[in-house]
Structure 1
Amino acid sequence: MRAAARWTHAHLRANRAAAVLIVLATAGITISLLLATALFAYATDPWQRVFTQSSGAHVWIHAQAGAPATSLADLDEVRAAAGPYRTVRTTASLQLGGAKATLELRGTPKRPETAAPQIAEGRWLDPRTDAGAVNGIVLDASVAHALWAEPGDSIALSGFPAPLRVVGVADTAEAAFRAGETPGVAWVLPKALAAAHAGPDQRGQTIGLQLGDPEDTDYVVQRAVTQLGADQITDVSTWRQAKAEAEGDNQLLGRLLGLFGLGALIAAALAVGGAISTRVRGHLRDIAILKAVGFTPAQVVRMFLALHLGFALLGVAVGVLLTETLGTVVPGRIGEAITLWQRLPGHAWLPFAISGGVVVFIGSATWLAAWRAGRVPPVPVARAAVASGRRMTGTTRRALGLRVPPALVLGWRGAFHRPLRAVAAVGRLAVPLLLITIALGAWSTLDRFSAHPEAVGLPAALTARSDSLGEQELRQRLADRPEVTAYPGAEVQALVPGQTGTITLRGLGTDAQPYPFSIVEGRAAHGPDEAIAGQGLLDLLDAHVGDWVRMTVAGRPHVLHIVGRSIEPADAGRVISTGLDTLRDGDPALQTGFYHLVLRPGADPAEVRDALTHASGGRIEVREIPNPADQLSAVRAVSAGLISVLVLIGLAELSTTVSAGVRDRGRDLLALKAVGLTPRQIAAVIVSATVFIALAAVLTGTLLGVAAADWLIDLQGRTSGWGSGIAQPPGTGILLLVGALAVLVAAAVATLPAARAARRKLADSVSDVL
């Protein structure tokens, strides 16, 4: 033990800089993984973010008006309660007309502390200003979107003597509004609720229960049913149901960031493993000397394990400490993500799991390298006795004969004369480049959604409708705008035989003016009974292009021939679209419900919307069609952060490659100088060898990354129901720029170590016999 301790101490004194770099590299990797996890949780789980920020309730009990719901707050498992609130079920619509939605109005004199709605637009209710002739109302974001309502609009409610003014839109962690299934939530002052003309069957109460242990949810629901009576409870919703619904709307973002995080972990693991293996190979002579003075193979293995596990533990501790203490003060998204992450349930164990994973991997990589070290013979063997290299090939000799610069020829040979090591170095460096290319592919796809929405199923930028204008007048007003092409449309919910859910049957465009769908398979629908479908619908029905499908709308059968597949971002792709003329063949009384407005290039949707609204005196309701790219804006920021992490990992791998090249070329100094190479040419050999490795990694990583990005994004498109065909590869110019930067950085990183190695004295090289 004393000899091992003395060797470790001497090793640290002789390699202080290397030890510090190992610790800093491990700390950097740990910080990167922790930040990636925090950003992943922040960006991919908005439900959890809202639940945490609002101090959400795990169980919502909806009961009859006379039930003793207050007693549920006294259950042992309940930590806090929201309410009970007096409620009224009603139907709401904008005062100017439009979509209708079922609401559960909750009367509350102030903003709740438990399950507190998070204001996204506008403000909360104020008894001083919102209790007048026109009372205020705050809508849940999901129902506000369904009603096309925003702060300042007036809402007409059945059973209320006067309309209510929307003063705010809030995010909640409750189950989102779903037409015909889940009512939307809204909040009003108790005075406004009391003024409603509602019968006993429409009145009730709701209480939210926040539990000490979320796993007690089912047990608490059973206790609530027992305590109040099954006949007194009208509905129960839990946090698991709400989270499952919310996660279904964020699969693309979650999968992309999950892929990047996993890839960064693999790249970091490969970089650390390569660095440790290279370091052990660089100390073979020292290991042989230890064997010669009496160290056993097991002692050598334990010594290397202890040394590098100590580095790993110190680096992980530094990384966790810096992230936990300083991460919250970082301005911008990172600081906000760390602050929120520390409040999430998973934060109690995720840092330990990540730190443990880093230590376990480094320990595994060190054990493999140390095992090789334990097999080093105790007597140093001269290099001449070991066929470490290969004879100069005919191609190399011909290149030298053609007066190709010796630095390039010898650099190429130095880079690839040991194929296994060269492939390993190229592979480790190609992984971060592959992931960077995938990130750029995701970025390009988002840019395609923003810059060319017509290519990804969003040719129309606006939707217009009006209940106060006749169809002919509305069509004429839209036709008066030269920058607008209006396509009439209508949507109905259709029931497919054998299915318990419904799909969207859409009639859009006419035979004389067909709508410009984004067709990626088959052809557009032209004749009667022809339709195009989204991928989600085809998967639901197990159908293909060319099949006939039968569906029922209000008892009327519709039989349509699917002649094509389009990219369909709406309703998870469970949409079948045909011409409005075909839809009216099955229901002659069907009226035009809306117009999709396709704008000419360069037209600003906001300006067109304002102009139409102003010209009609507010009688035309114009809304922008949501673009999925707006919901995935977090991908850009997180991708930029992960690209930075991957760049750091690539630099660490370059450092490993350079150190290995310097060590190998340092042993060849005598031979290189003997053939007449100057120190500058020797340095150029080392730099060119590194550049060739980097160039091979760039080609490998870029080609595989482009293919992987297209495959992964299209796979996500198919599984999300949008359909394949949405992927947009990065531009050639961007890929060339990234590749050129990688090669230039590799040359810059290798320049200084190569120059130092070229100036080494010959005696130093002679002594390096292994």
Structure 2
Amino acid sequence: MSALGKVVRSGVGRRRVQTLVIGLITMMAVAASVLGGTLLVVSGAPFDDAFAQQRGAHLSVEYDAGKASAEQLAKSADAQGVSAAAGPYRTATVSPRLDSGMPEWPMTVAGRDNPGKGVDGLTLTDGRWPTDPGEIVLSADASLFPALRMRLTFPGLPGDPQLKVVGVARSVTQTADAWVVPAQMAALTTPGNGGYQMLYRFTDADTAAQIAAGRKAVTANLPPGTAVGEQSWLTVKKTAERDTALYVPFLIAFGVLGLVMSVLIVGNVVASAVGTGTRRIGILKAVGFTPAQVVRAYVGQALIPAAVGTALGVLAGRLLAVPVLAETEQVYGSSTLSIAPWVDLTVIAGVLALVTVTAWASAWRAGRLRTVDALAVGRTASAGRGRWAVRLAGRLPLPRPVALGLARPFARPARALVMGPAVLSGTVAVTFTVGMGASLGEVTKARAHDAADVTVAAPLPEIGPAGPVPDERPAADPAKIAAAIEANSGTGKYYSAGTARATVSGVAGTTAVTAFTGDASWGGYTMVSGRWFDQPGEAVVPTGFLAATGTEIGDTVTLNGLGEPVTVRIVGEVLDPRYDGMQVFTDAANLTAAHADLTDISHHIAVKSGTDVGGYVAALNKNLAPLDVTAMAGGPDRGSDMVVTLNTLSALLTLMLVAVAALGVLGGVLLDTRERVREIGVHKALGMTPRQTITMVLTSVVLTGLAAGAVAVPLGVSLHGWVLPAMGDSAGLHLPDSVIAVYDLAQLLPLTLGGLLIATLGALLPAGWAARAKTATALRTE
């Protein structure tokens, strides 16, 4: 090993705390950066690969069969900008029932004679394509669980046709829920039901504006109102990327915090090593080391732990990315984690370059030191620094150890200034994480809709080996339950809610329709914009529904598969992330008029002020016993795995940042304590006790911790105000102010003291070492 290598190795081994700090902060910064970069780049790769392979449709349009013929629609394939087209395919909304007896479930069926290759080439994942009437292929993304040889019956159609499932297929742009041969469509279509589907690919389709231009071109020569629904491939892609894209904004925030702390801590460690090793630098120069070699020695001492931390960070980032991306890869049958190795290389090169530049800038002073001057310097700092602060603190009515500690930062202002941002970064992370946890709690609360004091929930189905077991018992009469609720003297206000499944023209998959009897505006539904509906014919929908259907507040949508088509006008946007946002909340009168059946009817009650909820529930259950339903306090628990994952990941990253910040303080205070060991010996010789020594060392970081906390809290609040809306956009949600503005004075005051806590934790070990130091040994130190 060369002489330079020995110097580097000895420096790394001698400064174990500083080496550990550099390694940990580098690992944290790299892990967050690799995970965020990988999710940002790779999350859409499975969809992109499948879309290119299957030549997915840039736009699928549902047309009214009563306003345009198949020949007219076929001519739209020649419109300007269309590179390829498929169709028209006859479509219908049907509600099949499984042979196991499960309830009906609406879905969109299209008639195609083959899987196709030109546009939207379907990929068979199991079984075969239907060749005769009486056979059907289900979409792998359909709400019904696809299984071969399963039989579907259609009790609402003439002759109650039955179809046998012969295959399972996947459409990358989700153009339908099932496919049959064209000859089968006549038996699945009733007068006034059904339409035509056209699938288009455009020469330019990278933006929403280009898709809108293509839609305008293909419908230009058709009668007005012929197009009743559409779906862009950009909407499907955004939905496919939603789960992974949700993590990116807050991972970027933690990655930036980690990189900032890396610069600060590496610079502080190297600068401190140069400051305390001045005499050693003189010896190295005296034995023949050039200035450049001295600088390289100190840079190498920072690069070795940084390289180890970088390697561990890349591994940690990749391991964390695997479970997040596994579901997306499984859906599209691809494995794409290896497609972006440049993310690893970019992060590695960037972090190591950052460490090198920072360490070189801090070590440059070592190269410029004259040999004679360096050899003449001992360990003790200049006695003249900060004397004015000592005199000022001595005039305050404080114990002498406290006054000496408070004045210490002014003796080493540069070190205190570098230590402060490390504490600041840790406090920013804590402030941000507390706010994010509160915001996610608000989202969970909005998702649960649990404002009711008492709930009479629909009975849960029994789960057997083959899935849910049909309940043979007759359902309780909602009117009798409502009568029992009204008869209870403690009832304040209440509403009931039932569910149905419907389809929306042009959008594959089903939409959950929740129909209310009574005013449900108080039930915990958080409005983003608009208002809650107040009369039949109106509805509120989540953000995801608006995005998927291309609608906005004031537009009307038609719900199919409910007995008769139901048209409602959207009057409000509600916060609800369930079912990818594909929900409609409306008045039960709309569905009653369409002769739609509601299931899972529940009743939600707010008791009168002063009423004991426990006593109310007991009294109500006595009246409900003959109806075979039970009331319970509160609402159903509807937790979210995504919220748990986000909270866990952010807590881990925050703990790592706080630990690194505390270790950064530890390293700085340890250097400062060792540097002034002779001064501490003098204090002990004059009668300072070990407890007073600990007090002096701890109070030396009080001003730094308080100042960092005071600055960090506003920065953490601002970071939260930027990251949470970005996360909402990634998840397809518009977050209202109630989710963003979650901080209050009771939280901000303790968070301001967080910097003091981090600084104190970091100073505990050096304070203990100073208290245990022997007076005679300290006095003999140069």
- 1:425-464 aligned at under 5 Å gives the runs 425-450=419-444, 453=447
1:281-430 mapped onto 2 (5 Å cutoff): 281-290=275-284, 297-310=291-304, 312-313=306-307, 316=310, 319=312, 344-346=337-339, 348-378=341-371, 379-380=373-374, 388-392=385-389, 395-399=392-396, 402=397, 404-415=398-409, 418-430=412-424
Alignment CA distance shift 1:98-1:505 (3 Å): closer
> Is 1:280 aligned to residue 293 of structure 2?
no
Return the alpha-carbon distance in structure 2 between the equivalents of residues 442 and 27 of structure 1: 27
Q: For the residues of structure 2 that align with 1:384 and 1:275, how far apart are their CA atoms?
A: 17
2:777 aligned partner, one-letter code: K
Q: Which residue of 2 aligns with 1:749?
A: 765
Cα deviation code 1:600-655 (max 9, x no counterpart): 5999xxxxxxxx9x9899xxxxxx99968344442133234323432442343133
Q: Structure 1 pair 634/432, CA: closer, same or farther in 2 (3 Å)?
A: same
- Structure scoring higher RCO (CA < 8 A, sep ≥ 6) equals 2
Deviation at 1:369, TM superposition (A): 0.6
Distance 1:534 1:489 in 2: 16
Give, in angstroms, the shift of residue 656 of structure 1.
Answer: 2.0
Give the secondary-structure state (helix, strand or coil) at the position aligned to 1:97: coil
**Judging changes above 3 Å, is the alpha-carbon distance between structure 1 residues 7 and 487 closer, same or farther for their aligned structure 2 residues?**
closer
Residue 271 of structure 1: how far off its partner (Å)? 3.0
For residue 371 of structure 1, report the CA deviation from its aligned partner.
Answer: 1.8
Residues 701 and 760 in structure 2, CA contact (< 8 A), matched pair in contact too: no
1:686-725 counterparts in 2 under 5 A? 686-690=697-701, 693-694=704-705, 696-698=707-709, 700-702=711-713, 704-706=715-717, 708-710=719-721, 712-714=723-725, 716-717=727-728, 720-724=732-736, 725=738
Deviation at 1:679, TM superposition (A): 5.4
Give the superposition deviation at 1:165: 7.9
Counterparts of 1:192-591 in structure 2, within 5 Å, are 197=184, 243-248=237-242, 250-290=244-284, 297-310=291-304, 312-313=306-307, 316=310, 319=312, 344-346=337-339, 348-378=341-371, 379-380=373-374, 388-392=385-389, 395-399=392-396, 402=397, 404-415=398-409, 418-450=412-444, 453=447, 475-476=478-479, 479=482, 485-487=495-497, 509=516, 516=523, 517-519=525-527, 549=554, 566-569=574-577
Q: Which amino acid in structure 2 is aligned with residue 162 of structure 1? A: Q
Q: Alignment partner of 2:246: what SS?
A: helix
Residues 405, 699 of structure 2: 8 Å contact kept: yes
Please give the per-residue CA displacement for 1:214-273, whole angstroms capped at 9, x wherever unaligned: xxxxxxxxxxxxxxxxxxxxxxx9999965441146543332334334433443443333
State the AA in 2 paired with 1:143.
A
Alpha-carbon deviation of 1:422?
A: 2.3
CA distance in 1, matches of 2:135, 2:637: 30
Relative to structure 1, is the Cα distance of residues 764 and 107 closer, same or farther in structure 2, using a 3 angstrom cutoff?
A: farther
Aligned CA distance change for structure 1 residues 135 and 529 (closer, same or farther; 3 Å): closer
Q: 1:635 aligns with which of 646, 652, 658?
A: 646
Change (3 A) 1:683 1:525: same
Letter in 2 for 1:97: E
Cα deviations by residue, 1:644-700 (Å, 9 ceiling, x for unpaired): 432442343133222233144336336635764345533432233245544554555
Counterpart CA distance in 2 for 1:616 and 1:176 is 45
CA displacement at 1:368 relative to structure 2: 0.8
CA contact (8 A) 1:305 1:363 kept: yes
> Is structure 2 residue 688 aligned with structure 1 residue 677?
yes
Residue number in structure 1 paired with 2:226: none
Q: Which residue of 1 aligns with 2:142?
A: 143
For residues 456-507 of structure 1, what are the alpha-carbon distances to aligned partners after superposition, in whole Å with 9 as ceiling and x for unaligned?
999999899xxx9xxx997536637859831479999999xxx999xx9999
Aligned-pair Cα RMSD in Å: 6.6
8 Å contact from structure 1 (residues 278, 660) kept in 2? yes
Residues 763, 589 of structure 1: CA spacing in aligned structure 2 closer, same or farther, 3 A cutoff? closer
The question of whether the paired residues in 1 share the 8 Å contact of 2:111 and 2:184 is answered with no
Q: Which amino acid aligns with 2:422?
A: R
Relative to structure 1, is the Cα distance of residues 655 and 151 closer, same or farther in structure 2, using a 3 angstrom cutoff? farther
Greater displacement, 15-24 / 152-161: 152-161
Structure 1 unaligned runs (5+)?
64-86, 109-113, 118-123, 127-133, 187-192, 203-236, 604-611, 618-623
**1:654 aligned partner, one-letter code:** V
| Contact in 1 for aligned 2:577/2:733 (Cα 8 Å) | yes
Superposed CA offset, 1:314-361 (max 9, x none): 6645x379769xx97x9x969999x99996124633333333233212
* Stretches of structure 2 lacking an aligned partner (at least 5 in a row): 58-88, 98-102, 116-121, 129-133, 190-230, 460-470, 486-490, 560-564, 607-612, 615-623, 630-634
What is the rounded CA distance, in whole Å, between the counterparts of 1:258 and 1:35 in structure 2?
Answer: 11
| CA shift digits 1:184-219 (9 cap, x unpaired) | 368xxxxxx8999469x99xxxxxxxxxxxxxxxxx
- The answer to whether 1:726 aligns with 2:739 is yes
- Give the structure 2 partner of residue 662 of structure 1: 673
Cα distance in 2 between the residues matched to 1:514 and 1:565 = 13
Query: 2:104 corresponds to which residue?
Result: 97
Deviates most, 418-427 or 18-27? 18-27
Q: For residues 739 and 151 of structure 1, what CA distance do their matches in structure 2 show?
A: 61
Task: Report the CA distance shift for 1:453/1:541 in structure 2 as closer, same or farther (over 3 A).
Answer: closer
Distance 1:395 1:371, change over 3 A: same
CA distance in 2: counterparts of 1:653 and 1:661, whole angstroms = 12
How far 1:407 moved relative to its partner? Answer: 2.1
The one-letter amino acid paired with 1:479 is: A
In structure 1, how many angstroms separate the alpha carbons of the residues matched to 2:284 and 2:278?
A: 10
**Greater CA drift, 263-272 or 535-544:** 535-544
Once the two structures are TM-superposed, the CA of residue 419 in structure 1 deviates from its matched residue by: 4.4
**Compared CA separation, residues 600 and 138, structure 1 to 2 (3 A):** farther
Secondary structure class of the residue paired with 2:700:
helix
CA distance in 1, matches of 2:649, 2:340: 19
Instruction: Give matches, 1:156-167, under 5 Å.
Output: 156=153, 161-163=161-163
Question: Quick check: 2:107–2:503 contact (8 Å CA) kept in 1?
Answer: no
Cα contact 1:414–1:689 (8 A) shared by 2? yes
Q: Is the 8 A contact 1:531 1:579 kept in 2?
A: yes
SS at match of 2:162: coil
Helix, strand or coil at the partner of 1:677: coil
Q: CA offset at residue 151 of structure 1?
A: 12
- Per the TM alignment, residue 363 of structure 1 is displaced from its structure 2 partner at its CA by 0.4
Cα distance between partner residues in 1 of 2:596 and 2:627: 21
Is the contact made by 2:706 and 2:753 (CA closer than 8 Å) also made in structure 1? no
Question: Mean Cα displacement is larger for which, 148-157 or 434-443?
Answer: 148-157
C-alpha offsets along residues 548-569 of structure 1, whole Å, 9 cap, x if unaligned?
9565869x9999896x775354
How many angstroms apart in 2 are the aligned matches of 1:45 and 1:476?
A: 54
Q: Amino acid of the residue matched to residue 357 of structure 2?
A: S
Distance 1:136 1:578, change over 3 A: closer
**Shift in CA distance, 314/599, structure 1 to aligned 2, threshold 3 Å:** same
Displacement of 1:148: 9.2
How many residues get paired?
633
**Contact 1:691–1:743, Cα closer than 8 Å, also in 2:** yes
Task: Report the Cα offset of residue 376 of structure 1.
Answer: 3.3
Q: What is the aligned partner in structure 2 of residue 653 from structure 1?
A: 664
Give the Cα–Cα distance (whole angstroms) in 2 for the partners of residues 543 and 139 of structure 1. 25
TM-score, reference length from structure 2: 0.60
Q: How many angstroms apart in 1 are the aligned matches of 2:297 and 2:359?
A: 11
Which amino acid counterpart does residue 365 of structure 1 have in structure 2? Answer: T
